[in-house]
Amino acid sequence: MDIVDKLAEIFKEFPGIGERQARRFVYFLMSKNEAYTGNLVSLIADLKKEVSRCKECFRFFINKKGVGNLCEICADTNIDSSMLMVVEKDSDLESVKKSRVYTGKYFILGGLVPIVEKNTKSRVRIEELKKKITSNNKEPDKLQEIILAFSLNPQGNHTDQYIREQLADLLSKQNISISSLGRGLSTGTELEYSDNDTLKNALKTRQ
């Protein structure tokens, strides 16, 4: 396997990138000068140095001086702690955040639960979510509602059901309600590509 093949294999690991697109990326880089590729390499290296993962919601964030291990959302004392939205990934969080229709906290699950999967707990942060719920209910502004915000496809629906089953006893004991995004989202919709009005309607009609 030569250098072109090796780079193409790496690009194929990117979300939504196939063999043809991966090789187009490689040839694009080959056509650029050394200054361009050098800058790209430098930025990728700096990305790993400057970005941290929040210890509370597991979101990636630019770690500014003085912020510590919390992202700006979790560190904001004005955020409504009575609501916790569970999303699959960072891009989903950003889409909801841009809609400006949700004012609560977030939790990034880290993926969706495969429909056929034996070792589910290695795929998603279910234990971390349980810990988050328990710790949140020790705060003055106690957690009152969990909102499951997953893409409306078979795997998203399966994840929704799995989370409900895993949290049933915990939420019952702590008197916390659980809801899912309403049908403002069409079946098959990816959350990160939904527009603001669609997200607004989905939040309003959650059940």
Confirm whether 63 is domain-assigned. no
67 located within any domain:
no
Place of tokens 């809801």: 179
125 and 173 housed in the same domain: yes
Q: What CATH number is given to the structural domain containing 27? A: 1.10.8.420
| Integer Cα distance of 126 and 61 in angstroms | 21
In three-state form (DSSP H/G/I as H, E/B as E, the rest C), the secondary structure along 102-160 is: CCEEEEECCCCCCCCCCCHHHCCCHHHHHHHHHHHCCCCCCCCEEEEECCCCHHHHHHH
Q: What is the pLDDT of residue 100?
A: 85
Full domain range(s) for residue 200: 77-204
* Cβ-Cβ contacts under 8 Å for 140 (sequence gap 6 or more): none
**Enclosing H/E stretch for 34:** helix 34-50
Bridge partners of residue 72, in order along the sequence: none
Question: What is the helix, strand, coil percentage profile of the chain, to 5?
Answer: 50, 15, 40
pTM: 0.79
Confidence bin at 99 (pLDDT 50/70/90) = confident
Residue 69 maps to a domain: no
Q: Is residue 87 part of a domain?
A: yes
Q: What is the pLDDT of residue 98?
A: 87
- Whether 4 and 26 have beta carbons less than 8 Å apart is answered as yes
Of residues 141 and 4, more confidence is placed in 4
Q: Based on the domain organization, do 44 and 85 belong to the same domain?
A: no
Taking only the tens place, the pLDDT of each residue in 105-119 is 999 999 999 887 666
Question: What pLDDT is attached to residue 205?
Answer: 62
Same domain, residue pair 167 and 113: yes
Find the helix packing angle between 196-204 and 90-99, rounded to 10°.
Answer: 90
Count of structural domains within the chain: 2
- How many angstroms separate the Cα of 199 from the Cα of each of 85, 93, 104, 156, 205? 13, 12, 15, 16, 10
Measured CA to CA, the distance from residue 157 to residue 149 in angstroms comes to 10
pLDDT of residue 14 exceeding 70, the answer is: yes
Task: Mark whether 114 and 12 lie in a shared domain.
Answer: no
Cβ(29)–Cβ(37) below 8 Å: yes
Q: For residues 149 and 98, state if they share a domain.
A: yes
Phi-psi region of 52 (alpha: psi -120 to 50; beta: other; left: phi over 0): beta
> E strands, 18-127, where?
51-53, 60-62, 80-87, 104-108
Does the residue 10 lie in any domain?
yes
- Return the pLDDT at 58: 95
137 vs 15, higher pLDDT: 15
Check whether residue 26 and residue 93 sit in a common domain.
no
Mean of per-residue pLDDT scores for the chain: 86
Q: Is the pLDDT of residue 13 over 70?
A: yes
- Same-domain pairing of 142 and 86: yes
Over residues 117-163, the pLDDT tens digits come to 666 666 799 999 999 998 876 665 689 999 999 988 889 989 999 99
